[in-house]
Amino acid sequence: MELSGAQILVQSLQDEGVEYIFGYPGGAVLHLYDALFQQEGVKHILVRHEQGATHAADGYARATGKPGVVLVTSGPGATNAVTGIATAYMDSIPMVVISGQVPSPVIGSDAFQEVDMVGITRPCVKHNFLVKDVTKLAETVKKAFYVATTGRPGPVVVDIPKDITDPKIKVPYKYPKKVVMRSYNPVTAVSKNQVKKAVELLLNAKKPMIYSGGGVVLGEASQELTAFSQLLGFPVTNTLMGLGAYPANDKQFVGMLGMHGTYEANMAMHESDVIIAIGARFDDRVTGKLDEFCPYAKIIHIDIDPASIAKTVKVDVPIVGEVKQVLALMIELIAEHKGKVNKKALEAWWLQISQWQAIDCLQYDRDSMLIKPQFVIEQLYEVTKGDAYVTSDVGQHQMWAAQYYRFSKPRRWINSGGLGTMGFGLPAAIGVKLAFPDAHVACVTGEASIQMCIQELSTALQYKTPIKIINLNNRYMGMVRQWQEFTYESRYSHSYMDTIPEFVQLAEAYGHVGMRVDQPDEVRPALEKAFAMTDRTVFLDVITDRTENVYPMIEAGKAHNDMKLRVATGTSTDRELA
Amino acid sequence: MRHIISILIENESGALSRVAGLFSARGYNIESLTVAPTEDPSLSRMTLVTSGNANVVDQITKQLNKLIDVVKLVDLVEASHIERELMMVKVKADEQSRNEIRSLADIFRGKIIDVTNKTYIIEITGTSEKLDAFVATLNPDHIVEVVRSGATGICRGDHGLHV
Ligand SMILES: Cc1cc2nc3c(=O)[nH]c(=O)nc-3n(C[C@H](O)[C@H](O)[C@H](O)COP(=O)(O)OP(=O)(O)OC[C@H]3O[C@@H](n4cnc5c(N)ncnc54)[C@H](O)[C@@H]3O)c2cc1C
Ligand SMILES: Cc1ncc(C[n+]2csc(CCOP(=O)(O)OP(=O)(O)O)c2C)c(N)n1
Ligand SMILES: [Mg+2]
């Protein structure tokens, strides 16, 4: 079969099983768009901004586990995609981004819409390619998918000069079934010896903790994690990225850890004598002050990326491998082992933990006259029966969604953790809804974040992706305001906007349903009404208590046992509205 | 501590910038970096001299290994090895200093490879330390320019770094 470069690209995507490609056209990719026009296998989703394309592809990838695919033009199209690429990179999300490039002969001449995409994205991709020869195009696409989806996943950019896709130049096409790259061999073999050492430590632990992260979600090892944890009866805490990998309603779950984690999770980490980190990377939001991180613990660390191990925290038993495989082996070795967990010590440990739990660190004023954001999330949880896909933006609302929506399945909680990209939530929700048209998809956002990719409301209409946007409108960049309250004596420097759009009208202008909610007792009915409109995108503008803060909090540079807790406020002592 | 990391890397355009970019992005220092193709033109051999404590160097090697284009690497200082660097120094060589410079070059087993009535170019190979020592013996006022290749190295014994 002889095909042009443009046809080869499109055919390769089909052969790779790509369902959706999120993109935006321009000069350098016109040949590609013409080839897309003449086929039906790959569905193109036209976004309104290239950042939206990357986040939508990313949301699709997080929800399905399949790589997200993006197509952008050269120059500004490519640079607009960079934020989304970096977002995917930081959270290890598989993504393939095809960018157009100026024709090969003029590369380097500051040609119209030329930008060195390979150079610009180098620090925020797993790998990137510049295609120099049309006969290598199919193989390069195959490599891109292979690299993006294996080992520690990540985004891969394929930059394609316009002449490579020239419809007049046809070459034989065959999509490789397999690629071998001598320089890239994602680890597979697990050291049984290391796993044995870990089992010894675990069985002798008196105050054990299971600290699991995004790697469990990425590695589809939620079942193994649950079986492993329940076999041992140890307390489980999740990172922000790991939520849902262990069912939040299970009695062994002590909540999220870290900066806005629960009191019990952080105290238990601090006091623990054996910690097993599973697909988690000891991020600074999690560890707090490094010198005082888990001072009494021996640490076991399972990670597919050797570079994640001992990057910031020294570990006693490193295990390089796929979580799924390692946990399965661990379960096997524990079952075979003569020793048993120290029941007595474990009982004492759980008693201690229950005392920390009794502090009820997630309490808030349920009798407030104002809408409490936490209440909205709790209601969202109930109305969706805890089974929705929830995307979020970045800020206080993100933390409340993480704390109060008790995720019980992996891939349901979709947020930007590592880069913390405002603007992620809405396009990501579109990507999720395309993947799961029958599921409830909610986007929890804030009035500042939503404005960063608000234009994608138009995409949501065009492709009929009925999502529910829950805008926790506190008329502040709440997260910024909170830090300013705590550390800058409430000097609220540029953390609010004097002009906030009328979101209901804005949603309507985009062809959706807008609803404003400003009384606590309207929250539940409004949510029910919104989710009942299964074929409409609904924008719920929820006017919340603007002075509410996220608690508990470990302030920057503090240790796990030094948390700021909510001071019990009694009833309805809503602070003066600033 | 000083480390000499020897890297076998795909001879692709941009491979060098991936390594250099990694070092600047992560704040690792590079003392020197040399690169050239090997007998197999699809592979380049790169030698990178860096310094840092054990943790830093551990991260450096892990991060380098993570680069998709890197095929293999070895930290030469972990075992017995030979290190060489090439230097060319152009020095002012007038009537009075000529002899002295020539005998200095002899002591360091240097070769005079270019002569004008005012200057010499001396070529010396050796460890970076030896080259430093030679430069230190020269009168700074006599030095016109110093060109160094950066260190390269190879491990002793039977084994080698190859695919
Ligand atoms: C406003 C804000 C506040 C935040 N507050 C908190 C907080 O309080 N608590 C918190 O936890 N986070 C918080 N974060 C998120 C934080 O920044 C990090 O993104 C997060 O902690 C990282 O999660 P993780 O350790 O699970 O790693 P991830 O980024 O999910 O990385 C996954 C790890 O698993 C490994 N891995 C991947 N696949 C596999 C596999 N198949 N097998 C084995 N290993 C694998 C990877 O190599 C990597 O090391 C916050 C973010 C924001 C924006
Ligand atoms: C693109 C981007 N710019 C700036 C920030 C810094 N930042 C983090 S949270 C936040 C405020 C978010 O405000 P809003 O969306 O209203 O959420 P709230 O905290 O009020 O719930 C800002 C500006 C960011 N994370 N991303
Ligand atoms: Mg806000």
If you measure from the C-alpha of residue B47 to the centroid of ligand 3, how many angstroms do you get, rounded to a whole number?
51
User: Which of B17, B25, B62 faces A307 most closely, judged by CB atoms?
Assistant: B62
Tokens in use for A369?
């006259």
Q: Is A310 left (phi over 0), alpha (psi -120 to 50) or beta?
A: left
DSSP assigned state of A567: P
Q: What distance in Å separates the CA atoms of residue B96 and residue B101, rounded to the nearest whole number?
A: 10
Q: What distance in Å separates the CA atoms of residue A329 and residue A334, rounded to the nearest whole number?
A: 9
Number of H helices, E strands in chain B: 4, 9
User: Which of A126, A183, A306 faces B70 most closely, judged by CB atoms?
Assistant: A183
Give, in order, the Cα–Cα distances in Å from A268 to each of A271, A278, A294, A329, A576.
5, 17, 9, 26, 36
Cross-chain residue pair B69–A183, CB shorter than 8 Å: yes
Give, in order, the Cα–Cα distances in Å from A446 to each of A48, A241, A382, A418, B50.
20, 20, 21, 19, 46
In this structure, the dihedral spanned by the alpha carbons of residues A506, A508, A510 and A513, taken in order and rounded to 10 degrees, is: 120
Number of H helices, E strands in chain A: 20, 20
Q: Is A360 left (phi over 0), alpha (psi -120 to 50) or beta?
A: left
- Give the count of Cβ contacts less than 8 A between chain A and B: 37
Closest CA to B131 of B115, B151, B145: B151
Q: Which of A117, A479, A515, A553 is catalytic?
A: A479
pLDDT single digits (tens) A25-67: 999 999 999 999 999 999 999 999 999 999 999 999 999 999 9
Chain A residues in contact with B62 by the CB 8 A cut-off are 306-307
Does the pTM exceed 0.95? yes
A502 is an active site residue: no
DSSP assigned state of A302: E
CA-nearest residue to A117 within chain B is B14
pLDDT single digits (tens) A101-116: 999 999 999 999 999 9
User: Which of B66, B68, B70 faces A307 most closely, judged by CB atoms?
Assistant: B66
Per-position DSSP letters for A210-263, written without gaps between them: EEE-HHHHHTT-HHHHHHHHHHHT--EEE-GGGTTSS-TTSTTEEEE-STTS-H
- State which of A236, A257, A283, A404 you would mutate to test the pocket of ligand 1, scoring each by most atoms of that ligand within 8 A of its C-beta: A283
Task: Answer whether A320 contacts ligand 1 (Cβ < 6 A).
Answer: no
If you measure from the C-alpha of residue A374 to the centroid of ligand 1, how many angstroms do you get, rounded to a whole number?
23
Is residue A560 a contact partner of residue A361, using CB atoms and an 8 Å limit? Answer: no
If you measure from the C-alpha of residue A324 to the centroid of ligand 3, how many angstroms do you get, rounded to a whole number?
38
* pLDDT band, residue A569 (cuts 50/70/90): low
Give, in order, the Cα–Cα distances in Å from A542 to each of A356, A399, A530, B132.
33, 17, 13, 70
pLDDT reading at A573 higher than 60: no
Shortest distance, CA B71 to any CA of chain A (angstroms): 4
Over range A274-300, report the average pLDDT: 96
Residue nearest to atom 53 of ligand 1 (CA): A420
List CB contacts of A106: < 8 A, sequence separation 6 or more.
Answer: A114
- Give bridge partners of residue A446 from the DSSP assignment: A472
Per-position DSSP letters for B31-75, written without gaps between them: SEEEEEE-SSTTEEEEEEEEE--HHHHHHHHHHHHHSTTEEEEEE
Tokens in use for A111?
């040609």
- Give bridge partners of residue B12 from the DSSP assignment: none
What does residue A114 show for φ and ψ, rounded to 5 degrees? -95, 135
- Give bridge partners of residue B44 from the DSSP assignment: B9, B37
Is residue A276 a contact partner of residue A202, using CB atoms and an 8 Å limit? Answer: yes
If you measure from the C-alpha of residue A363 to the centroid of ligand 3, how many angstroms do you get, rounded to a whole number?
21
Q: What is the pLDDT of residue A567?
A: 80
Closest CA to A104 of B13, B21, B17: B13
If you measure from the C-alpha of residue B155 to the centroid of ligand 2, how many angstroms do you get, rounded to a whole number?
53
Is residue A67 a contact partner of residue A126, using CB atoms and an 8 Å limit? Answer: no
The separation between CA B38 and the C-alpha centre of its own chain, rounded to angstroms, equals 16
Is residue B77 within 8 angstroms of chain A, CB to CB? no
The number of C-alpha atoms within 13 Å of B43 and in the hemisphere containing its C-beta is: 17
Q: Which residues line ligand 2 (CB under 6 A)?
A: A 393-397, 420-423, 446-449, 472, 474, 476-480
Is residue A118 within 8 angstroms of chain B, CB to CB? yes
Is residue A114 a contact partner of residue A441, using CB atoms and an 8 Å limit? Answer: no
DSSP assigned state of A371: B
Give the DSSP H/E element, type plus range, for residue A527.
helix A520-532
Cross-chain residue pair B71–A183, CB shorter than 8 Å: yes
Chain A residues in contact with B70 by the CB 8 A cut-off are 183
DSSP assigned state of A544: B
Give, in order, the Cα–Cα distances in Å from A208 to each of A348, A466, A551, B147.
12, 44, 25, 58
Task: Answer whether A478 contacts ligand 1 (Cβ < 6 A).
Answer: no
Is residue B63 a contact partner of residue A126, using CB atoms and an 8 Å limit? Answer: no
pLDDT reading at A574 higher than 80: no
pLDDT single digits (tens) A77-91: 999 999 999 999 999
pLDDT more than 70, % of chain B = 100
* pLDDT band, residue B155 (cuts 50/70/90): very high
Per-position DSSP letters for A8-68, written without gaps between them: HHHHHHHHTT--EEEE---GGGHHHHHHHHT-SSSEEEE-SSHHHHHHHHHHHHHHHSSPE
pLDDT reading at B68 higher than 80: yes
* pLDDT band, residue A334 (cuts 50/70/90): very high
* pLDDT band, residue B25 (cuts 50/70/90): very high
Q: What distance in Å separates the CA atoms of residue A322 and residue A279, rounded to the nearest whole number?
A: 9
pLDDT single digits (tens) B130-143: 999 999 999 999 99
The gap between the terminal CA atoms of chain A, to the nearest Å, is: 69
Chain A residues in contact with B60 by the CB 8 A cut-off are none
A112 is an active site residue: yes
Task: Answer whether A281 contacts ligand 1 (Cβ < 6 A).
Answer: yes
Q: What is the pLDDT of residue A140?
A: 98
Over range A458-484, report the average pLDDT: 98
Give, in order, the Cα–Cα distances in Å from A398 to each of A280, A470, A539.
19, 11, 17
- Residue to substitute from A183, A184, A290, A311, interface B, most B β-carbons within 10 A: A183
Provide ipTM, 2 decimals.
0.93
Is residue A520 a contact partner of residue A375, using CB atoms and an 8 Å limit? Answer: yes
A50 is an active site residue: yes
Cross-chain residue pair B17–A122, CB shorter than 8 Å: yes
Is residue A538 a contact partner of residue A391, using CB atoms and an 8 Å limit? Answer: no
Helix axes A425-435, A50-64, angle to 10 degrees: 50
In the three-class reduction of DSSP (H, G, I as helix; E, B as strand; rest coil), residue A399 is classed as helix
- Residue to substitute from B68, B70, B71, interface A, most A β-carbons within 10 A: B68
The gap between the terminal CA atoms of chain B, to the nearest Å, is: 28
Q: What is the pLDDT of residue A556?
A: 86
Helix axes A5-15, A137-149, angle to 10 degrees: 30
Over range A425-450, report the average pLDDT: 98
Is residue B53 within 8 angstroms of chain A, CB to CB? no
Q: What distance in Å separates the CA atoms of residue B37 and residue A492, rounded to the nearest whole number?
A: 58
If you measure from the C-alpha of residue A242 to the centroid of ligand 1, how many angstroms do you get, rounded to a whole number?
7
A113 is an active site residue: yes
Is residue B58 within 8 angstroms of chain A, CB to CB? yes
In the block, which residue shows the tokens 């920057």? A556
Ligand 2 atom closest to residue A449's alpha carbon, by position in its atom list: 15
Sheet holding A155-161, edge to edge: A43-46, A20-23, A68-72, A95-101, A155-161, A127-130
Q: What is the pLDDT of residue A1?
A: 85
Chain B residues in contact with A90 by the CB 8 A cut-off are none
Over range A500-512, report the average pLDDT: 98
Per-position DSSP letters for A415-459, written without gaps between them: ---SS--TT-HHHHHHHHHHH-TTS-EEEEEETTGGGGSTTHHHH
Is residue A181 within 8 angstroms of chain B, CB to CB? yes
Q: What distance in Å separates the CA atoms of residue A415 and residue A428, rounded to the nearest whole number?
A: 8
Task: Answer whether A154 contacts ligand 1 (Cβ < 6 A).
Answer: no
pLDDT reading at A427 higher than 90: yes
pLDDT reading at A554 higher than 50: yes
User: Which of B18, B58, B163 faces A182 most closely, judged by CB atoms?
Assistant: B163
DSSP assigned state of A349: H
Over range A221-235, report the average pLDDT: 98
Tokens in use for A494?
């540029």
* pLDDT band, residue A187 (cuts 50/70/90): confident
pLDDT reading at A570 higher than 60: no
Average model confidence (pLDDT) for chain B? 95
Q: What distance in Å separates the CA atoms of residue A237 and residue A255, rounded to the nearest whole number?
A: 5
Chain B residues in contact with A305 by the CB 8 A cut-off are 66
Is residue A178 within 8 angstroms of chain B, CB to CB? no
Ligand 2 atom closest to residue A474's alpha carbon, by position in its atom list: 20
Give the DSSP H/E element, type plus range, for residue A194.
helix A192-203
A479 is an active site residue: yes
Ligand 2 atom closest to residue A477's alpha carbon, by position in its atom list: 13
Closest CA to A574 of A551, A545, A552: A545
Q: Note the helical H segments in chain B.
A: 15-25, 54-66, 98-107, 128-137
Closest CA to A272 of A359, A210, A189, A337: A210
Chain A residues in contact with B10 by the CB 8 A cut-off are 183
Encoded amino acid at A208, one letter:
P
Cross-chain residue pair A183–B58, CB shorter than 8 Å: no
CA-nearest residue to A313 within chain B is B55
Chain B residues in contact with A310 by the CB 8 A cut-off are 55, 58-59
Q: For residue A443, give the ligand nearest its CA.
A: 2
The separation between CA B42 and the C-alpha centre of its own chain, rounded to angstroms, equals 22
Q: What is the pLDDT of residue A568?
A: 60
